Amino acid sequence: MNVLVKVCGINSAEAADAAVRAGADLGGLVFHPKSPRHLSLDAARALAERLRGRLRLVVLVADADDAAIAAAVGAVRPVYIQLHGRETPERTSKVRARFGLPVIKAIAVAEAADFAQVPDYEIAADILLFDAKVPDGALRPGGHGASFDWQLLRGRRFSRPWLLAGGLTPANVARAIASSGAPGVDVSSGVETAPGVKSPQLIADFVAAARNAQAAEVRS
């Protein structure tokens, strides 16, 4: 079974087409004003229509209220809502119930102790996403290119599907998969030439490297 690949922060028709062409499974559209990948509702609606039926759409928000989430969901009509802020398990459950959509919940990791919160999120969310803790002074919750020790995940078992994020690139994603045992990966800044500028070639290289890592694991 192939590693699941999510390309997040899609913000142009070129990036959208590249993600589809490369064979990504999920595409993330970001709604966070402090992110260089932030989309207006009109831009998101146009990209969603371009991507619909070609990959699974994800709306990404961080510590957003119900009105902001409703606006994003209405524009995109996604398969998943991704909560990438400091949402509690209780808030995660409420979002899932309020909007009737499965939720991907990002969990920030820097050390083994950070996994203590996971059981509560396994109840509240449908998919877990393990990302690096943001650098000190950062104004947004993700897309910084920071990573954590992937081996912290090695051998852990979760009751929900999960993705690995944080500092992944075409050059290191195979090593990240091997180190963590990740069944899925999520990339944003690692396929950009500048903040918010996706590279079609890097997207293609990233998806190919993730697929080849899985193929190598199967052969071994």
- The yes-or-no verdict on residue 144 having pLDDT over 80 is no
Whole-angstrom distance, CA of residue 104 vs CA of residue 115: 16
- The yes-or-no verdict on residue 158 having pLDDT over 50 is yes
Interval 104-131: pLDDT, tens: 999 999 999 999 999 999 999 999 999 9
Residue 208: give its domain's CATH number: 3.20.20.70
Rounded average pLDDT over 25-43: 97
- The yes-or-no verdict on residue 7 having pLDDT over 60 is yes
Number of folded domains that form the chain: 1
CB-CB contact of 94 with 64 (8 Å): no
CB atoms within 10 A of CB 65: 8
Domain that holds residue 114: 4-219
- The yes-or-no verdict on residue 220 having pLDDT over 50 is no
Percentage of the chain lying above the pLDDT 70 cut: 91
The pLDDT assigned to 134 comes to: 77
The pLDDT assigned to 140 comes to: 47
Alpha helix (H) residue ranges in 100-135:
118-124
CB-CB contact of 102 with 82 (8 Å): no
Query: Structure pTM?
Result: 0.92
